[in-house]
A and B are shown apart, each in its own frame.
Chain A
């Protein structure tokens, strides 16, 4: 983006505060309800708890228009690539709330079918515990995320230092050189 070496002064500081305020107070959620947590997520959006008070009443079905992905429910191994694709399709800046124990660690489903923590796939910003978390717990995690957005640097990418504290750089991901099974070439 070219903003990484920006020197802050009075004007950019004020602008950054405004941008962070705008991001925190209209963070739209991507619709990613997977299980019973999604029912509580809907309850949080309905009249009794009214997520519109925090500017989050629109749950976008299109990831391009969403800022926050609320992973609500257990993620199966088959769902994992889909979840990663939805996350990749979201525009920066983007945040992830892992809602419920199944999304956070697999919960009581410690088996081969369930991903043991969605932070193995996407970097998670806030974890909401509970099985399922009530609307209050979800709103608490959303407020924690808003606090995080307001305190963070706007030029920082969310991939650094979030999730399970795992940082993968390109060197770690590079595949080893292909070993030829044929006879070594004559030198």
Chain B
């Protein structure tokens, strides 16, 4: 390599650096802007209520039994006959979740027979003491409007309280094909019954996920097509437009 070549290579190397400031920025300015969450994201739990204000939790302790991290503590009590808390025979008298043990696996949501516990989309939070991490029923139960209670160490943005998890389970709950497309959800305070999640039988209809998710799936599909495994591309991307191969910079 002669000296002249080395001199030009110097500028060639800096050309890569120099053109980057003019490219679109990928940084999410987190405290001000939040990345959109996937549809089935698992965030902080909420305890739901019916439209008439009654609590859905019946104190059956199935969530506590199924929890792999043993982070839920429930104690049921008989409903007072004059002022019942839940429509069932019993209600959740004590309900505590230790969020420093919870791994957000959503198994409590799957186990719950009354759809009382669901998970919101809020995942931006931190504690300065262990006591703050143990949420009691007063903090978990939604308020009269159906909105989760927002605590000072949590960063709620609009949309985080919508689309809490487990609502997609409402479609074909036990795998019965005849129930597909029928939301069997009993409705949540303030929100009502949401439509069933699309795309359980028709993969093409499922392609309304968060934008970055879609992009990742397209990329993965293109990569799979490139190595010649046509049939094994992820579902729902069969009709995705294939980008022409990027040729710039490959010249010898």
- Report A's interface with B, CB cutoff 8 A: 47-50, 53, 101, 104-108, 110, 117, 119, 125-131, 133-137, 139-141, 143-144, 148, 164-165
Q: Which applies to chain B's interface (DSSP): helix, strand, loop or mixed?
A: loop
- Report B's interface with A, CB cutoff 8 A: 26-31, 34-35, 68-70, 98-105, 123-130, 133, 153, 155
Q: Which of B68, B69, B70, B100 contacts A127 (CB 8 A)?
A: B100
- Taking a contact as CB atoms under 8 Å apart, the answer to whether B34 and A136 are in contact is yes
Bound-state Cα–Cα, A49 to B35, Å: 10
Q: A136-B123, A137-B126, A144-B128 are in contact. Are A130 and B104 (CB under 8 A)?
A: yes
Question: Nearest 9 pairs between A and B by C-beta?
Answer: A141-B126, A131-B103, A108-B69, A104-B100, A105-B100, A127-B127, A129-B99, A140-B124, A50-B27
Q: A141 to chain B: which residues have CB within 8 Å?
A: 126
Nearest CB of chain B from residue A145's CB, rounded to whole Å: 8
- Taking a contact as CB atoms under 8 Å apart, the answer to whether A49 and B30 are in contact is yes
Among B30, B102, B126, B127, the one with the most A-chain Cβ atoms within 10 Å of its Cβ is B126
Q: A130 to chain B: which residues have CB within 8 Å?
A: 104, 123
Q: A131 to chain B: which residues have CB within 8 Å?
A: 102-105
Nearest CB of chain A from residue B108's CB, rounded to whole Å: 13
Bound-state Cα–Cα, A165 to B130, Å: 9
- Taking a contact as CB atoms under 8 Å apart, the answer to whether A136 and B35 are in contact is yes
- Taking a contact as CB atoms under 8 Å apart, the answer to whether A140 and B125 are in contact is yes
Q: Which of B31, B103, B128, B155 contacts A107 (CB 8 A)?
A: B103
Bound-state Cα–Cα, A101 to B69, Å: 10
- Taking a contact as CB atoms under 8 Å apart, the answer to whether B31 and A108 are in contact is no
Residue on A nearest B31 in the bound complex, by CB: A143
- Taking a contact as CB atoms under 8 Å apart, the answer to whether A47 and B26 are in contact is yes
With A131-B102, A137-B126 known, 8 other A-B pairs at CB within 8 A are A49-B28, A104-B100, A108-B69, A127-B127, A129-B126, A129-B133, A136-B124, A139-B31
Q: Which of B28, B100, B124, B128 contacts A137 (CB 8 A)?
A: B124
Bound-state Cα–Cα, A136 to B127, Å: 14
Nearest CB of chain A from residue B172's CB, rounded to whole Å: 28
- Taking a contact as CB atoms under 8 Å apart, the answer to whether B123 and A137 are in contact is yes
Q: Which of A49, A108, A134, A137 contacts B68 (CB 8 A)?
A: A108
- Taking a contact as CB atoms under 8 Å apart, the answer to whether B100 and A129 are in contact is yes
Nearest CB of chain B from residue A65's CB, rounded to whole Å: 25
- Taking a contact as CB atoms under 8 Å apart, the answer to whether B130 and A127 are in contact is yes
